[in-house]
Structure formats: structure tokens, C-alpha cells
Amino acid sequence: MSTSGSTQHRVSIALDARSYDIVIGTDVFALPSTYEALPDATCAALVSNHTVAPLYAQQLAKALGERYRKVIQVVLPDGEAHKSWQTLNLIFDALLAAGCDRKTTLFALGGGVVGDMTGFAAACYMRGVPYVQVPTTLLAQVDSSVGGKTAINHPMGKNMIGVFNQPLLVVADIATLTTLPQRELIAGLAEVIKYGPIADGAFFVWLEANLDALLARDPAALAHAIKRSCEIKAWVVSQDERETGLRAILNFGHTFGHAIEAGLGFGTWLHGEAVGCGMAIAAQLSANVGLIPAAYALRIQRLIERAGLPVRAPALGVQRYQQLMSVDKKAEGGETRFVLIEAPGKAVLRGVPDADVATVLRACGA
């Protein structure tokens, strides 16, 4: 993948005192100037994992070394299965062992797993230290690094233990995607595709036309997809930081997706694969309850399938799905609620009769 010729974009997320910028560009994460507006501190802690650290930690540490007297590195085990208390503790162990004070800035270098855990650790360490997201997967660049949701998994449910904690800055460097395995790129496309049906009908049409370029990692196509995704996410989060309403639309496909992830065991399907399949089911459900024409649901499903994402649900059994979905964070008063599409670019959160959920699950292979 050639990454030459791309320009730098800045998307702002407006949250009063917690406002911050998302920098999107090529070869930006290793530039000391990228971090020059951050508050003064003595110590920086670079948190990454065993896969990403050998690729990019040295470059980031060098850039940070120009403004922090001490830069420590914390290298976590890789994988969704390690998004746990035990792994979180490794961050605290390293910070305490190195004598990091309460002004220490944490830098999350990696995908959504590293980002979610680093953000959570930053919220807890000495009752809160600042952190910066340096996302290196497509999924993290378009979604998880933006918006301040941080968490670890519980064996009974995905992302069940966590806090809202906004970063000071997000640095999405498209050049880091050159080393990303194709399966991970495709998983990230699920979260990109999501933004079309829920918020921007024109972006959905653009994705239909440019999917092949994205799969081929065309830098201009990737830059546009990342920028537009971040703009939509920033717009939603600015209005509803703590998900009292609107923000739930970002969970299109996630109720089914989280059940797939937990049901199969975390890490069996990638998060993006589970979300892709969940969106296919949720699109069908939207049509089944009469919100959108069947033809539009089919278009959504076709785009997901063309991206190389699964659209058939793993056969866990309908009852097992319903049990897993009952612990979803959007459930209220015992009722599981779903993000459904009510028009191209418009989503709604609502309850659906169990019988309709069972019907769509059965039809999708559950």
C-alpha cells in the first residue's frame, strides 16, 4: 500500500472542557510536533501489545522522549481474551514500579483492546491521569479510539466493566494500517459501514462505490472513510456523551454481535466480524417489523457480504442468543432493545417482540 500524497485532517469533538482533536494523516504518530499541545508532565507511559510494540513502539517512544523526561513501555498480551482485570493490573503494576506520578500521560498504541484498557487504566490510576489514543487498526481509528468509552470484558458479558473517560488527543496514522492483516482490515470495515445506514445515506452510497478501493487499501479512500466516520462519531458523541439516547445508534448490530462474541467465546470471531453479522440481522429485523423496505435491508446485507464479513449467525440456538442479549447494556426493565434502521441514514432504538427476534434469528441461521 502506498501512503504518499495524503494530507492531514483534523476532526474536533466538542465536549466543553473535555473537547479534543482527532488527527488523521500519514506518518504523523512519530512526529514530536503532533504532541506539542499536550499538558506538561515528567513521565509518559506507552501501552501497547506484543504484536504492535515491535512495529511502532520505538518510533513513538522516540517522539515522546523529546518532551517527557521519562518514557516507560508496558507491553500487554495480545487479544480480546486478555481484555480482563488481570491484564489491566499489568498496567498498574508497571506504572507503580516505575514511580509514575499523577501527571503521567498514558499513550495507547494499538487496536481497540489496548485503547479500551489504557483508557480505563488512565481513569483509575491515582484516581485519574490523562491519556492519548494512537489507534493502529481501522476499527480503532474509526470508532473505539473516539468517544471515551473504556472497558474490560466480564465472562458474562462484553465491555461490562468500564467508565467514560475522554482522551486528550487521538492520532490516527493511516500508515500504520500497512501492517494490518486483511482479516483485521475487513473487521474494521464493519464499523465504517455502520455509519451509513445509521447517519449518512450518501456515505452508504459512497461505500457501495468505493468498497473495492478500501479493500485494496487505497490511501485516499481510507482517509475519506476514516475522516467521515470520525466526523459522524464526533457529531453523535458531542450531543450525547454518556449514551442517554442518541449515542445508542452507534450500537447498530452490536446487540446481536456482542451475543455472538460472548456465545462463541471472546476472540473466536473478531469484534468487527460479529458486528458485521449483527448488522445483517438487525437490517433484516428492521425490514421484518416494517421500518424499511426489504430491498434496502438487502443492500445493507450485500455491502457487508461484499466486504468479506459474515452474514449468517453462528448456530448457538435462539434461546442462547436471547439469554446472552438480556445482559446487553441497552436493556431496560428486562426488555432487550435493538438499534433498527427506519430510513437510509436514520436509526432508532426500540424494543421488539421476542417472537420477531426469534424469527429473524432463525432465518439468519442462529
Catalog residues that contact ligand NAD under the rule CB under 6 A.
49, 51-52, 55, 78, 80, 83, 110-114, 116, 136-137, 139-140, 143-144, 147, 149, 159, 176, 179-180, 184, 187, 271-272
**26: contact with ligand GLY by CB under 6 A:** no
Between residue 128 and residue 167, which ones bind ligand GLY under the rule CB under 6 A?
143, 147, 149
- DSSP code, position 54: I
Residue among 114 and 277 whose Cβ is closer to ligand NAD: 114
From residue 316, give the alpha-carbon distance in Å to each of 89, 157, 341, 362: 33, 16, 25, 10
Told to judge if 70 belongs to the known catalytic residues of this protein, a careful annotator would answer no
Told to judge if 247 belongs to the known catalytic residues of this protein, a careful annotator would answer yes
From residue 241, give the alpha-carbon distance in Å to each of 52, 135, 163, 172: 29, 20, 12, 21
Residue among 139 and 198 whose Cβ is closer to ligand NAD: 139
Q: Which of 82, 149, 194, 228 is catalytic?
A: 149
Told to judge if 50 belongs to the known catalytic residues of this protein, a careful annotator would answer no
Told to judge if 194 belongs to the known catalytic residues of this protein, a careful annotator would answer no
Q: Which of 83, 224, 271, 299 is catalytic?
A: 271
CB of 134 to ligand NAD, least distance (A): 10
**251: contact with ligand GLY by CB under 6 A:** yes
Only one residue has cell 459522524, namely 232
CA–CA dist 340, 289 (Å, integer): 9
Alpha carbon distance, N-terminus to C-terminus of the chain: 38
- Nearest-CA neighbor of 134 among 110, 114, 117, 166? 110
Q: Which of 228, 258, 330, 337 is catalytic?
A: 258
Provide DSSP, 91-138: HHHHHHHTT--TTPEEEEEESHHHHHHHHHHHHHGGG---EEEEE-SH
CA–CA dist 230, 226 (Å, integer): 6
The torsion of the CA quartet 146, 197, 113, 117, rounded to 10 degrees, works out to 40
**170: contact with ligand GLY by CB under 6 A:** no
Say which entry of ligand NAD, ligand GLY, none residue 110 contacts (CB below 5 to 8 A, set by partner kind). ligand NAD
Say which entry of ligand NAD, ligand GLY, none residue 251 contacts (CB below 5 to 8 A, set by partner kind). ligand GLY
Are 350 and 315 contacting, i.e. CB atoms less than 8 angstroms apart?
no
Only one residue has cell 501489545, namely 49
Q: Which of 254, 299, 330, 337 is catalytic?
A: 254
Told to judge if 127 belongs to the known catalytic residues of this protein, a careful annotator would answer yes
**3-state DSSP assignment of residue 334:** coil
Told to judge if 208 belongs to the known catalytic residues of this protein, a careful annotator would answer no
**155-171 in b/e burial notation, b at 16+ Cβ within 10 A?**
eebbbbebebbbbbbbb
Q: Please identify the residue of the shown chain whose CB is closest to the bound ligand NAD.
A: 112
Contact stretch for ligand GLY (CB under 6 A) within 63-71, 109-117, 244-252, 281-289: 244-252
* Binding track, positions 55-94, relative to ligand GLY; x by CB under 6 A: ----------------------------------------
Are 44 and 168 contacting, i.e. CB atoms less than 8 angstroms apart?
no
CB of 41 to ligand NAD, least distance (A): 24
Residue among 149 and 337 whose Cβ is closer to ligand GLY: 149
Told to judge if 18 belongs to the known catalytic residues of this protein, a careful annotator would answer no
CB of 183 to ligand NAD, least distance (A): 9
Cell numbers representing residue 346 in the block:
436514520
Residue among 64 and 139 whose Cβ is closer to ligand NAD: 139
**247: contact with ligand GLY by CB under 6 A:** yes
CB of 143 to ligand GLY, least distance (A): 5
Told to judge if 158 belongs to the known catalytic residues of this protein, a careful annotator would answer no
70 bridge partner residues = 43
45 bridge partner residues = 72, 106
CA–CA dist 341, 19 (Å, integer): 29
Q: Which of 80, 184, 191, 231 is catalytic?
A: 191
CB of 2 to ligand NAD, least distance (A): 16
CB of 185 to ligand NAD, least distance (A): 10
Residues of this chain that interact with ligand GLY (CB under 6 A) are 143, 147, 149, 247, 250-251
The residues assigned a catalytic role are 127, 149, 191, 233, 243, 247, 251, 254, 258, 271
